[in-house]
Amino acid sequence: MDQNMNSTKEGLISGSGAIQHKAYARVGLLGNPSDVYFGKTISFSLANFWASVTLEPSPHLIINPHPIHDLVQFDSLDHLVNRLQSEGYYGGVRLLMSICKLFHKHCKDNNINLSPGNFTLSYDTNIPRQAGLSGSSAIVCAALSCLLDFYKVRHLIKVEVRPNLILSAEKELGIVAGLQDRVAQVYGGLVHMDFSKENMDKLGHGIYTPMDISLLPPLHLIYAENPSDSGKVHSTIRQRWLNGDELVISSMKEVADIAAEGKSAILKKNYQKLAELMNRNFDLRRCMFGDECLGALNIEMVEVARRVGAASKFTGSGGAVVAFCPEGPPQVKRLEDECRKAGFSIQAIQVVPSCLNDVDLKTLSK
């Protein structure tokens, strides 16, 4: 750590006024994707991967492109084409610009006065791309935290509202997503979320209940180096749900109920029940979306875990899987061996504790 940076639960603040915040990757443990359909979910923040954003006071407002993720200089045409095929067209600059715009709008709409002053924003991330780990929203979340501290308005924007602000910045860019990921990243730790229509209509957000991370059993993350695009998966299901498709509506309700059952199972440390619910969650997703939509590579990650008797499901919409080995270390070893054979990466999951500081906690609804 830079000797001039002071560490607090709010992030890092230097003597020169530079502010740095991290936001972590997200794992949807149970209930996803019902967050987009007035359902319930349980998610947690993953310490293995994160995005960081640094804000430094400056004479002009500058958004710094990342030297890798926003590459605009290439060795050749082949280099450019290969780069686009592996990384896509978009880096993080558009995300930083969008959250600046939506933060400004939110403050203006809510009569929150912003003091004058400019800054330079830069970012870094080690979250695998298109792995269903919420890499884009992590950048936006970290940037929002920087803006809250730079303008000293953290106490004026409620914690429950911040996920909506992050999501609105992503929707501005055409990113398809729900609130679940942003809630997990704003709160940190393990969170049960209730997105019932009644709550959403009345409050404008869900009911978010932090849970003790020590209640979780050891979990593992499996991911592919070249996964699918998680931003395209919800499209047909959303339309079918809006059209009143009975299979989608009933299945999505059952997925939401899984999160409610999962909360009880986790509180009781009933890990056998947790394993059953994880598997059922994926089976319902597969029934609704179909194998073609989920993708062979994504399904294989789930099947690799199931072949050794582990419970497994997507962390998000594909690209990574969360696995639980109820039989303990010998089963974990078999899972690691199978993942290596299949060409998948596997890591023991580390869960981030709550990210909320004293100022944040005072903004929470009673």
Write out the catalytic residue numbers.
181
What three-state secondary structure class fits 90? coil
Look at the block and give the residue holding tokens 């619910």. 277
Which letter does DSSP use for residue 218 in this model? P
Beta strand 118-125 with 62-63: parallel, antiparallel or unpaired? parallel
**C-alpha angle with apex 200: 194 to 202, nearest 5 degrees?**
120
- The CB-side HSE value for 353 (13 A sphere, CA atoms) comes to 3
Nearest to 237 by CA among 36, 40, 41: 36
Structure tokens at 269: 């440390």
What phi, psi does 12 have (nearest 5°)? -120, 130
Nearest to 30 by CA among 218, 254, 287, 335: 254
Nearest to 141 by CA among 188, 192, 73: 188
What three-state secondary structure class fits 227? coil
> What are residue 70's DSSP bridge partners?
none
CB-based contact 349:27 (threshold 8 Å): yes
What phi, psi does 205 have (nearest 5°)? -155, 175
CB-based contact 169:136 (threshold 8 Å): no
Q: Can you tell me the distance from the alpha carbon of 29 to that of 42, in angstroms, rounded to the nearest whole number?
A: 6
Using a 10 angstrom Cβ sphere, with 0-12 exposed, 13-18 middle and 19 or more buried, the burial of residue 161 is middle
CB-based contact 71:61 (threshold 8 Å): no
